[in-house]
Structure 1
Amino acid sequence: MLLDPPFASLTRSLPGAPLLFCIPYAGGDVSAFWAWRHAFEGAFDVRVVMLPGRDGRIARPGALAPESIARSIAAHLPPVAGPAYAIYGHSMGARLAFEVVRELRRLGAHPPLRLYVGAAHPPERQETLARWTSLDDEELLDEVIHRLGAPTELRSQPEVKALLVPALRTDMAWLRGYRHTRQAPLSHPIVAFAGAHDREVVDPSMLGWARHTSSGFRLHTLDAGHLFLNTHGEQVARAIAEDFHGTGTPDQPGEDDVHVWLADLARLPEACAAVGELSPKEAARAARFRRQEHKDWYVGRSVVLRRLLRDYGVETGVEELRIKPGGKPYTGTDLTFSMSQSGGLVLVALAWGREVGADVERIRPLANEQAFCEGALDEREAAEFAALPEELRLQSALRTWTAKEAVLKASGDGLRVDPALFGFAGQQPGATWVPEAAPEVARLAEWRVTHLPLGRAIGALAVRSPRFRLRFETVRQGQTEPHRVEAAG
């Protein structure tokens, strides 16, 4: 029989403070969260689950069990009217936390206000440690140090190795046996944290967590590696506190940041009806749409963009948005943006002091495959496309097309450049794409494309830098306030 694990309380907090339950990474224990002992300053009662075989439980190695952790959390929860709570899991702990939340739902416990996940692939993907079960102890430590950024001193600390390796093997066994099962998405938001220098979990792959919630999703990318709790613990704590208590506002993107917002207009009926926030020309154009759905999409995307720009300090009122020569949008500041729409999905990318291009395409069959090849692909791309099995062609086509559209928006060329003059032949999914360009458009070769897996759509970002920190967020109903323009008296 598995015993329900106890918790270690890390912080001194005021009575009634919200609870933050934490689950460490593979091989980790309570010390994984030591940076949070003072970081929350009474904002949370932080309690770390004490997993089997560590934290004074060496005599009880046991196995990991989300069910027992969920029972322990449920026993610590206040009544429904009591303080809200959240759960944070790091790396393996994120996957474990996800299953704990689903088990809490099955038990009928009231749900957390947030699920926070760090440095973890979404549940349907295999985690790194699951592939390391056949390694001997020294090889295992080498991988943990090299791939995950653990301190090199582990090799010369036999007493630490004696505790760490058995815990790692317990956790690897759970990951290897883990099988994700489809269930209804969680009803509360998921907030994810990624390390820009993580060798195992690249930030765009964490966007897959968005499909596991029917509420909002946000991704923060830190200038850190996999174990960023050790190096950026206070920064993560600050972001969690601001998110949980609703005190955060959009920061201006830093010089290495790109902020991306995804709006599903089907979930934003208020924005789609806010015709009064449009400029006179936009309102006139909206009135010309014959289908109500298309009118709603046009109004919704225009309103979402105006509200986002206002949140970033650009006051648009109901004036026409500025356009540079060549058709690129202009805010009048160093804030740049790019917007793309596909059906009822809208993708907006913002950067500071540099250009960015964004494109999104819903996953739907090509209307005319031959016309697509002739109009969008260069010769090498067309040959690769023709050689693909039929079931892989749609994804390949959308990856290529979004990449080209993002580059043309970033460069400001738009429809003035034939998409067949540059291409991405030979480039692999999941990697940064670099275009090969004909001499007359050689300038396009300086852009770098990152794809965004968005569930039922594919997105792409084009920037000049090969690396950037991605912040991603879904727009929720009521998240951005309507803009009210006072009438002149």
Structure 2
Amino acid sequence: MSRYLPQRRPEAEMVLLCFHHAGGGTALFRGWQESLGPDIAVWPVLLPGRERRIREPRLTDPTQLVEELAAELGPLLDRPHAFFGHSMGALIAHRLIASRQHEGGRLPSALFASACAPPLSPVHSSASLVGDDELIARLRRLGGMPEELLEHPEWLRLALPVIRDDLELCRPRPGETAQVLSCPIHRCGGTEDRLVGEAELRGWQALTEAGGTLAMFSGDHFYVKQRPDSLFRHLRDVLSETVLCKK
């Protein structure tokens, strides 16, 4: 069992690897398997330093992270698969696909980039550099900081370092370029998201040679937790058209 897939992995002809947001974990995708049905195996990817991997050091170097992901997940991707990345997860998924494309590996049938501006966007440059008060305020505006966490400073002290390290993963490096992918990129977002709107999502168009869709759903930056049924229908529809119909 891979460290990055610590939970039992359901088997199916089609796999959806899911990458969580900054400060998050696989809990974001709880219930997805039941909602998407048996034809799609949902594999939530867990980064180190949280949940079952809480004792492992967190990674802040995206190159090191992608190397580990490629080594551990690559051998499992010999079947039809797609990637879903929410916020930070979309950037990680893009890097992993770019790496596999460079190495000649099998590519996913689709990347779903959710609530995330494309790589090298200015929003990724500044997020990890603000002070604690500003970071908390930003998370509050996004809906990413539960009130019960704000009421317990000891919990907050544990959460902020994880979020900061994850945001460092998102920060563009000097001289870095964003690779154009050969697979479709389907953009998803919340209509009330104050960080990533429709205009930012459209920026992903320049990073694919294979097109893709744009779908907006009711909710804010964490629309995936608020009104998921419409998102699940969208995922099933797209995956049915691009993968399942080719069985």
TM-score interval, smaller chain:
0.7 to 0.9
Match of 1:207 in 2: 202
Larger Rg: 1
Structure-to-structure mapping, 1:86-105, within 5 angstroms: 86-105=82-101
Q: Looking at both structures, which has the greater relative contact order when contacts are Cα pairs under 8 Å and sequence separation is at least 6?
A: 2
- State percent identity of aligned pairs: 28
Alignment match of 2:121 (pick from 117, 125, 143): 125
**Matched residue SS, 2:181:** coil
Residues 1:219 and 2:214 are matched in the alignment: yes
Aligned residues of 1:5 and 1:69 also touching (Cα < 8 A): no
Flag structure 2 segments of 5+ consecutive residues without an equivalent: 243-247
**Matched residue SS, 1:123:** coil
Residues 1:43 and 2:28 are matched in the alignment: no
Residues 1:240 and 2:238 are matched in the alignment: no
Matched residues in 1 for 2:129 and 2:3: separation? 25
**Matched residue SS, 1:236:** helix
Matched residues in 2 for 1:29 and 1:244: separation? 24
Going from structure 1 to structure 2, the CA distance change for 1:53 and 1:126 (only over 3 Å counts) comes to same
Deviation at 1:70, TM superposition (A): 2.4
Going from structure 1 to structure 2, the CA distance change for 1:17 and 1:110 (only over 3 Å counts) comes to same
Matched residues in 1 for 2:134 and 2:120: separation? 27
Aligned residues of 2:128 and 2:164 also touching (Cα < 8 A): no
Match of 1:116 in 2: 112
Equivalent AA in structure 2 for residue 7 of structure 1: L
Going from structure 1 to structure 2, the CA distance change for 1:34 and 1:202 (only over 3 Å counts) comes to same
Going from structure 1 to structure 2, the CA distance change for 1:44 and 1:162 (only over 3 Å counts) comes to farther
Residues 1:76 and 2:76 are matched in the alignment: yes
Matched residues in 2 for 1:168 and 1:241: separation? 31
Matched residues in 2 for 1:34 and 1:172: separation? 23
Q: Deviations over 1:173-201 (max 9, x none)?
A: 22235454154x21111101011100011
Match of 1:338 in 2: none
Deviation at 1:91, TM superposition (A): 0.7
**TM-score, structure 2 as length reference:** 0.86
Root-mean-square deviation (CA, aligned residues, Å) is 2.3
Match of 2:189 in 1: 194
Which structure has greater strand proportion? 1
**TM-score, structure 1 as length reference:** 0.45
Matched residues in 2 for 1:156 and 1:128: separation? 28
Q: Deviations over 1:433-480 (max 9, x none)?
A: xxxxxxxxxxxxxxxxxxxxxxxxxxxxxxxxxxxxxxxxxxxxxxxx
Deviation at 1:72, TM superposition (A): 2.1
**Matched residue SS, 1:124:** coil
Going from structure 1 to structure 2, the CA distance change for 1:160 and 1:235 (only over 3 Å counts) comes to farther
Match of 1:152 in 2: 147
Matched residues in 2 for 1:55 and 1:131: separation? 23
Which structure has greater helix proportion? 2
Going from structure 1 to structure 2, the CA distance change for 1:77 and 1:131 (only over 3 Å counts) comes to closer
Matched residues in 2 for 1:160 and 1:31: separation? 17
Going from structure 1 to structure 2, the CA distance change for 1:11 and 1:41 (only over 3 Å counts) comes to farther
Flag structure 1 segments of 5+ consecutive residues without an equivalent: 248-489
Kindly tell me the number of residue pairs found equivalent between the two proteins.
236
Match of 1:273 in 2: none
Aligned residues of 2:128 and 2:171 also touching (Cα < 8 A): no
